[in-house]
Amino acid sequence: MAQVKTLGEWMADRGLDLATLIEASGLDRRVVEAVAGNRYTPSPQQRQRLAAALGIGLEQVAWGHQAPVEHVYGHGPQFGRSP
């Protein structure tokens, strides 16, 4: 069974820095930084490019957010009641 790790863990295992992965994948710097920081879930095409740059399969990377997504409604408590 293939070992599943985050993109950051794969980068550490391969000894790659962010600049090298950006160049190898051909993706925008902001996208790669966000994916490596687990703040962005990449599209299928972006996943393919990142996995190919690392030399691993798509199923070996744990894609997705690690930080919870919070939905905030209204203007906040400083403005009184929020809908």
**Tens of pLDDT, residues 10-20:** 999 999 999 99
Total of domains in the chain: 1
The two structure tokens encoding residue 64: 């997705």
CATH number (domain holding residue 51)? 1.10.260.40
CA distance 14 to 73: 42
**What is the b/e burial string over 44-64, where b = at least 16 CB atoms within 10 angstroms of the residue's CB?**
eebbebbbebbebeeeebebe
Using CA atoms, how far residue 7 sits from 44, 76, 78, in Å, is 15, 35, 39
Q: How confident is the model at residue 3 (pLDDT cuts 50, 70, 90)?
A: confident
Q: State the residue range of the domain holding 61.
A: 1-83
Whether the full predicted model's pTM is greater than 0.85, yes or no, is no
Q: Decide which of 9 and 2 is more confident.
A: 9
Does an H or E element contain 25, and which? helix 18-25
Q: Averaged over 29-54, what is the pLDDT?
A: 92
Residue 81 pLDDT exceeds 80: no
